Structure 1
Amino acid sequence: MKVMQLLPELNSGGVERGTLEIARALIADGHESIVVSNGGRLVPALEQEGTTHLTLPIHKKALSSLWQIRPLRKLILQYQPDVVHVRSRVPAWLTHFALKGIPVEKRPHLISTVHGFYSINRYSQIMTQAEKVIAVSDSVVKYITDHYKNCPPEDIVRIFRGIDPQAFPHGYQPPAQWFHQTFIDFPQLENKFLICLPGRITRLKGHETLIALVGKLHQQYPQLHAVVVGGADPKKAAYLDGLENTIQSKGLRDQITFVGHRSDIREWLAMSDLVLSLSNQAETFGRTALEALSVGTPVVGWKRGGVAEILSRLYPQGLIDVDDQTALFEAVQLHIDNPQYVAPVTQFSLKDMCDQTIQLYKRVAQEN
């Protein structure tokens, strides 16, 4: 079987990671894997593992992208994939028009994955116009069925995202050298009860809620320290400055540390005593919450979206009604007073995600 995946670029993010994981699984299962994108820093890793990468500028939300319809059609005719899998809206539209110019009997089967809660309009609807539509969580299934009546429920296939439990083993402890270096860089973190808020510095991630929470807790619990793990895009510099000013004005400079973008997220999640998920909007999956639970760190988060699906299955005591600040305060208090145990995670595995996706490819490819 030959599968062609299309996405805008290959730099970083959940869509990109999922593309690489499926490409790797296809090769391991003896199939041929092709990825079309505008390129990016993940391309060498992809090619090293045996996938063919074809560079095509299919990443811009601009009319000029329509010039890529003919080159894309040419690639599809040249490589003749059995299945084309679109993972983003611009590539989905370009594929839609490219396939129109190919005789029906020569067209590959079309699969899409809805990775996000896109704005509800004609432009986003293209993601639900495939033979099978993969939804990455039950929340996404509901989003599709609520807003896109054109998509028959039987065409929606829920395949949870997954993580490799060996990459996030239960009870994981960072090496002594890592702790040593971290306490040199951030001496204020030593011997503290660490609350971690992972994620990029954007208005969506709930940093204001964290600051207010630490403000309420820190006098009662002087050992409490909050760590924000995530970088700020240059465009978000003003927002980060605003957060720093709020922290300063509340006298919390010694209680909250921003450590910036990190590639050692597993170590930070494992070192933390508690991880928070406080996004202002529902997340489609909530991978970081899953990674934290996988290493054995408790997670407290708002009861919505993919995070609620993960917590309800793996750590229900971490679920808090959305924006209930009192319940959040009490949940954190409970975790400081009585450290909680997290059972080993046996669901949401990367292997399940890959197996189910490849099974779907095979099922669709066998239909005439």
Structure 2
Amino acid sequence: MNNSIRLLQVLPTLNSGGLERGAIDIAEGISKLGNISLVASNGGRLVNQLEQKGIKHLKIPVHSKNPFTIYKNISVLKKIIANEKINIIHTRSRAPAWSSYFASKKLIRSVSTYHNAYNYNNNFKKIYNAGLGKMDKVIAISNFVKNKIIKSYNIPENKIDVIYRGIDQKIFNLEEINRDIIQSFKQKYKIVSDKNIVLFPGRLTSWKGQIEFLEVLKKIERNDFFCYFVGDNKNTSYSQKLFKSIKNYNLENKCKILGNIDDMKVMYSISNIVVNGSQYPEGFGRVIAEAMSMGKPVIAYNHGAAPELLEIYNDKFKIPLNDCPKMIESINEILNMPEDSKKELALKSYEFVKKNFTIEDMISKTFNLYQNLLK
């Protein structure tokens, strides 16, 4: 039997986010292994990046939650499957899951990825969320997600593979960055040079917890640090609310919103601490893994997949949700840490990511899953 993979990944859009990044990484990785790889979405700013890698993109409204559009997408996907001779469809979101399921049923093998556990407060939402579990194989991006979807949607455990998201260690690593590049970056974004930098990366949105973190900045009794909020700021109402909150707290001398920046590697490299303050459990936590791969100490709330990523860390760096005193205690401990201890932690963090959370590992495990389905 010919086990050559002809893959169609389906996701709502190709804008920013871990879901989109993972889809592009898999598309490129599967293609480089000599297989055919296509992506269907409603488009977005990452389409050009995808096509530059030689991956074909098909624009269809799979982002829509409208039942009539979901129904129409079934026939559209069936035509793509037939015309492109697709033998595996991989759905990465709830919106297109039911379309993908009925388009592929009894025709080709199907895979889905649960990028989070997804809450529900009524039966309709539960059914909507459960569509991803209908596929032949289900990928959970952490053990946290795996355990939650087994409990919530009664998915058989042997149907689920845990495949962590992958970090590109060719980008995020311990290598020193040229001083001129760092200086140029600092000038461009007006980064302070005489203080420790606390980095809070993540989209500017309420569930990421930037406003809640202001309470920590307000109460911490030291002036040798400056905090930067970095991430997608398309949510203008929240961005404005955060800006006003900083002003109301009189914290302009302790923090600043940078929004989107063009080189996260440099931003991580100049930071002394990275904080993940998500208010809700995350399915993975890419910024935690990226920061660790750069050798940076991370503090995160102890829920979701964060404990899995911070497995090698002291419990002091895994904070109960919004426990302001313990967050302050951990920040102080890291800022006061001797240089030798920081270097030891940096190497330990990098090696832990190398062992568990690389792009190569993610592609290899996903490729093996596809091949096993085609046997």
Write out per-residue CA displacement over residues 18-40 of structure 1, whole angstroms, 9 at most, x where no aligned residue.
Answer: 11111111111111112222223
Aligned to 1:88: 93
Shift of 1:93: 1.0
Correspondent of 1:206 among 197, 206, 209: 209
Correspondent of 1:26 among 30, 34, 41: 30
Shift of 1:185: 4.0
Contact 2:104–2:110 (Cα < 8 Å) also in 1: no
| Letter matched to residue 55 of structure 1 | K
The whole-number CA distance in structure 1 between the counterparts of 2:358 and 2:176 is 17
Aligned to 2:334: 335
Higher alpha-carbon deviation: 271-280 or 248-257: 248-257
Contact 1:159–1:353 (Cα < 8 Å) also in 2: yes
Correspondent of 2:153 among 145, 148, 153: 148
The whole-number CA distance in structure 2 between the counterparts of 1:237 and 1:129 is 37
Write out per-residue CA displacement over residues 128-166 of structure 1, whole angstroms, 9 at most, x where no aligned residue.
Answer: 1111100000110011111011x1110011001111111
Question: Cα distance 1:33–1:184, how it changes in 2: closer, same or farther (>3 A)?
Answer: closer
Question: Cα distance 1:136–1:174, how it changes in 2: closer, same or farther (>3 A)?
Answer: farther
Query: Does 2:101 match 1:122?
Result: no
| Letter matched to residue 195 of structure 1 | V
Aligned to 1:297: 296
Question: Cα distance 1:203–1:337, how it changes in 2: closer, same or farther (>3 A)?
Answer: same
Aligned to 2:308: 309
Question: Cα distance 1:60–1:131, how it changes in 2: closer, same or farther (>3 A)?
Answer: same
Aligned to 2:194: 191
The whole-number CA distance in structure 1 between the counterparts of 2:213 and 2:185 is 26
Aligned to 2:323: 324
Query: Does 2:161 match 1:157?
Result: yes
Write out per-residue CA displacement over residues 170-227 of structure 1, whole angstroms, 9 at most, x where no aligned residue.
Answer: 254364233244236425x12111111111111111223321111112xx42211111
Taking only the aligned residue pairs, the percentage that are identical comes to 31
The whole-number CA distance in structure 2 between the counterparts of 1:133 and 1:248 is 46
Higher alpha-carbon deviation: 131-140 or 176-185: 176-185
Question: Cα distance 1:215–1:154, how it changes in 2: closer, same or farther (>3 A)?
Answer: same
The whole-number CA distance in structure 1 between the counterparts of 2:99 and 2:173 is 41
Question: Cα distance 1:177–1:26, how it changes in 2: closer, same or farther (>3 A)?
Answer: closer
Aligned to 1:67: 72
Contact 2:168–2:359 (Cα < 8 Å) also in 1: yes
Partner secondary structure for residue 283 of structure 1? coil
The whole-number CA distance in structure 1 between the counterparts of 2:22 and 2:188 is 35
TM-score (norm 2): 0.89
The whole-number CA distance in structure 1 between the counterparts of 2:63 and 2:240 is 31
Write out per-residue CA displacement over residues 99-153 of structure 1, whole angstroms, 9 at most, x where no aligned residue.
Answer: 35xxx3xx1101111112323310110011111100000110011111011x111
The whole-number CA distance in structure 1 between the counterparts of 2:271 and 2:130 is 40
| Letter matched to residue 307 of structure 2 | A
Please give the residue correspondences for 1:100-249 in structure 2 after superposition, counting only pairs within 5 Å: 100=105, 104=106, 107-120=107-120, 121-149=126-154, 151-173=155-177, 175-183=179-187, 185-186=189-190, 189-217=192-220, 220-233=221-234, 236-249=235-248
Higher alpha-carbon deviation: 201-210 or 172-181: 172-181
Correspondent of 2:47 among 35, 43, 55: 43
Structure 1: segments with no counterpart, 5+ residues: none
**Length, aligned pairs only:** 355
The whole-number CA distance in structure 2 between the counterparts of 1:45 and 1:271 is 27
Shift of 1:278: 0.8
Contact 1:312–1:319 (Cα < 8 Å) also in 2: no
| Letter matched to residue 248 of structure 1 | K
Shift of 1:95: 1.6
Question: Cα distance 1:316–1:364, how it changes in 2: closer, same or farther (>3 A)?
Answer: farther
Contact 1:6–1:84 (Cα < 8 Å) also in 2: yes
Higher alpha-carbon deviation: 322-331 or 269-278: 322-331
Contact 2:101–2:110 (Cα < 8 Å) also in 1: no
Over the aligned positions, Cα root-mean-square deviation in angstroms equals: 1.9
Correspondent of 1:349 among 346, 355, 358: 358
Question: Cα distance 1:17–1:314, how it changes in 2: closer, same or farther (>3 A)?
Answer: farther
Partner secondary structure for residue 305 of structure 2? helix
Q: Which runs of 4+ in 1 moved over 6 A?
A: none
Aligned to 1:10: 14
Question: Cα distance 1:6–1:44, how it changes in 2: closer, same or farther (>3 A)?
Answer: same
Question: Cα distance 1:145–1:174, how it changes in 2: closer, same or farther (>3 A)?
Answer: farther
Aligned to 2:265: 266
Question: Cα distance 1:174–1:284, how it changes in 2: closer, same or farther (>3 A)?
Answer: farther
Partner secondary structure for residue 161 of structure 2? strand
Contact 1:87–1:115 (Cα < 8 Å) also in 2: yes
Shift of 1:249: 2.9
Contact 2:138–2:161 (Cα < 8 Å) also in 1: yes
Question: Cα distance 1:172–1:285, how it changes in 2: closer, same or farther (>3 A)?
Answer: farther
TM-score (norm 1): 0.91
The whole-number CA distance in structure 2 between the counterparts of 1:198 and 1:298 is 13
